[in-house]
């Protein structure tokens, strides 16, 4: 990437957390920005994310350091925006492994402590004093890790907040755009083409389209392997519980919501979703009931949980599990944000991408995540 003149107009494709965060940071730099999205904001993976803010079970890598910076930006937001108090919380995270030979909870806790990640190894009997609302009898004898600095965010609420400022700064949002493709001339982007409309010219294009990223990049000759699975996120009806932390357990992950409900997901329940040939999904009643029962089992008092709604669809994960971020070397003017860690990285990635696009200088924190690693 060569240093170039500050772009006048940038098109951001996608109105999830990466797209909206990047667009706002670009607007703060004085750039004219248009967000183009197929539907309403947060209508994709950002709208059905557990949104656990963490860097748990990570070694001291570039990915870990980026996630820590991401959490830092959320703390700044919480400190400066009191209105986030109901949907941006830092009440900790609690995780335990199954009672099997593969249980690694003690060694993982040591790893986290060795790199300075706040972690406590608690026996089942000690958990209640550290974080309420958990059924101690569900915790394996090896204990659980409590990470006091972790939290959760409601991404649709965050996206609304960011969009309000984006619009106030003159940003434009095009909804229901349908199919979008990058318009190139030679080896450089010159904007996008929306189905049925004239091309929209721009000095740079940022792809923040989640699971659609590999296919859109392939259209301009850039290969990024894809490991995107199907996600299933359940939301319960409102329930009285003392739970405040995010729970990550062998059979279910649980977090509170701003309106007094819980959201749940798991690996096994996602595997039971059927992807139909017409692009729809079938979620079996037994899967829903099983996930609700698993959540009840890890909560203090084993409350009866009832389904309010669920979201199902692709969960963006690059082929090697690591984020794909920043400029695309093979096609000038194209930038990308593609990662499983959308919630944790949402604010920091938007900031770093905007800095890189405006300055024309590669940001060192994104160096490990370029699409060119797959070339």
Question: Cβ neighbours of residue 271 under 8 Å, at least 6 residues apart?
Answer: none
- Check whether 116 has a pLDDT greater than 80: yes
Per-residue pLDDT band for 4 (boundaries 50, 70, 90) equals low
Per-residue pLDDT band for 165 (boundaries 50, 70, 90) equals very high
pLDDT at 195: 82
pTM for this entry = 0.96
pLDDT tens per residue, range 5-60:
889 999 999 999 999 999 999 999 999 999 999 999 999 999 999 999 999 998 88
Per the prediction, the chain carries an average pLDDT of: 96
% of residues, the chain, pLDDT over 90 = 95
* Domains recognised in the chain with CATH numbers: 9-47+156-224+319-374 (3.50.50.60), 90-151+227-314 (3.30.9.10)
pLDDT tens per residue, range 73-115:
999 999 999 999 999 999 999 999 999 999 999 999 999 999 9
pLDDT at 208: 98
- Check whether 347 has a pLDDT greater than 90: yes
Please tell me the least confidently modeled range out of 58-62, 212-216, 281-285.
58-62
> Averaged over 60-70, what is the pLDDT?
96
- Check whether 291 has a pLDDT greater than 70: yes
306 CB neighbour count, 10 Å cutoff = 11
- Give the DSSP per-residue string, 102-115: T--HHHHHHHHHHT
């Amino acid at each position: 990437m060569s240093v170039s003149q500050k772009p006048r107009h940038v098109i951001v494709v996608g109105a999830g957390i990466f797209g909206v965060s990047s667009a706002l940071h670009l607007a703060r730099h004085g750039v004219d920005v248009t967000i183009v999205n197929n539907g309403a904001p947060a209508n994709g993976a950002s709208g059905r994310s557990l949104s656990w803010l963490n860097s748990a079970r990570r070694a001291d890598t570039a990915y870990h350091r980026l996630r820590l910076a991401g959490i830092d930006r959320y703390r700044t937001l919480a400190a400066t925006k009191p209105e986030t108090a109901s949907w941006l919380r830092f009440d900790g995270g609690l995780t335990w492994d199954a009672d099997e030979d593969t249980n690694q909870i003690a060694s993982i806790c040591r790893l986290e402590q060795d790199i300075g990640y706040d972690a406590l190894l608690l026996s089942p009997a000690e958990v209640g004093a550290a974080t309420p609302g958990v059924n101690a009898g569900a915790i394996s004898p090896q204990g659980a890790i409590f990470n006091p600095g972790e939290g959760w965010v409601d991404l649709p609420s965050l996206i609304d907040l960011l969009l309000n400022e984006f619009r106030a700064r003159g940003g434009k949002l095009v909804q229901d755009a349908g199919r979008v493709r990058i318009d190139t001339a030679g080896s450089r982007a010159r904007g996008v083409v929306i189905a049925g409309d004239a091309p929209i010219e721009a000095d740079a294009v940022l792809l923040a389209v989640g699971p659609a990223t590999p296919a859109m990049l392939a259209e301009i000759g850039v290969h990024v392997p894809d490991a995107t699975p199907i996600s299933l996120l359940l939301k319960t009806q409102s329930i009285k519980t003392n739970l405040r932390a995010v729970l990550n357990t062998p059979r279910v992950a649980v977090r509170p919501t701003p309106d007094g409900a819980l959201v749940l997901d798991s690996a096994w329940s996602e595997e039971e979703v059927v992807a139909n040939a017409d692009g729809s999904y079938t979620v079996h009643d037994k899967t829903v009931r099983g996930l609700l029962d698993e959540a009840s089992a890890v909560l203090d008092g084993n409350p009866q949980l009832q389904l309010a709604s669920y979201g199902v669809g692709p969960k963006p994960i690059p082929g090697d599990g690591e984020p794909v971020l920043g400029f695309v070397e093979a096609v000038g003017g194209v930038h990308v944000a593609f990662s499983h860690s959308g919630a944790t990285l949402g604010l920091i990635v938007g900031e770093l991408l905007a800095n890189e696009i405006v300055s024309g200088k590669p940001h060192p924190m994104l160096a490990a995540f370029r699409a060119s690693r797959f070339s």
